[in-house]
């Protein structure tokens, strides 16, 4: 991985691999509606900056429920990600059951335009993105 860190904050680290054209988001710790919205807006900004098409969204280090942000992520943010050029979104589940339920709740809103698939580990998610390009 030849990624460069773009943003590093307590709740999210964003990096971009220009060779593979993948935006990596690594979410960390307890998430709130505000931290999710903030991190998502930063992801959107980075995706636009690099004209990215693929995201590896890693929730491995998320330790809490964040379902109060689920509808906003699905109904507001994902359509804007699609408009910005995102086409593939590999979502790595947290081992935290409540975080996983929050992700599933988001996906229950039937996201359109961005092919979104969930994974239990980062390696499988990355392999899927590489195979789908």
Sheet with 22-29: strands ordered across? 4-8, 12-17, 22-29, 54-62, 88-92, 115-119
Tens digits of residue pLDDT in 50-83: 999 999 999 999 999 999 999 999 999 999 999 9
The predicted structure's pLDDT at residue 101: 96
Tens digits of residue pLDDT in 6-48: 999 999 999 999 999 999 999 999 999 999 999 999 999 999 9
Looking at the domain assignment, is residue 11 inside a domain? no
Domains held by the chain: number: 1
pTM over 0.85: yes
Burial class (CB in 10 A: 0-12, 13-18, 19+), 78: buried
Residues 22, 72: Cα–Cα separation, whole Å: 23
Give me the CATH number covering residue 68. 3.30.750.24
Domain ranges, residue 38: 20-132
């Amino acid at each position: 991985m030849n990624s460069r860190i773009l943003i590093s904050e307590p709740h999210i680290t964003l990096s971009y691999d220009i060779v593979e054209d993948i935006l990596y988001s690594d979410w960390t710790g307890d998430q709130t509606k505000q931290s999710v919205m903030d991190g998502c807006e930063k992801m959107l900004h980075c995706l636009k900056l690099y004209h990215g098409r693929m995201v590896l969204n890693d929730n491995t280090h998320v330790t809490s429920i964040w379902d109060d942000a689920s509808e906003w992520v699905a109904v507001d943010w994902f359509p804007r990600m699609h408009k910005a050029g995102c086409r593939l979104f590999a979502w790595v589940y947290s081992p935290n059951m409540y975080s996983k339920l929050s992700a599933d709740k988001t996906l229950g809103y039937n996201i359109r335009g961005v092919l979104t698939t969930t994974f239990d580990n980062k390696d499988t998610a990355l392999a899927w993105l590489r195979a789908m390009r």
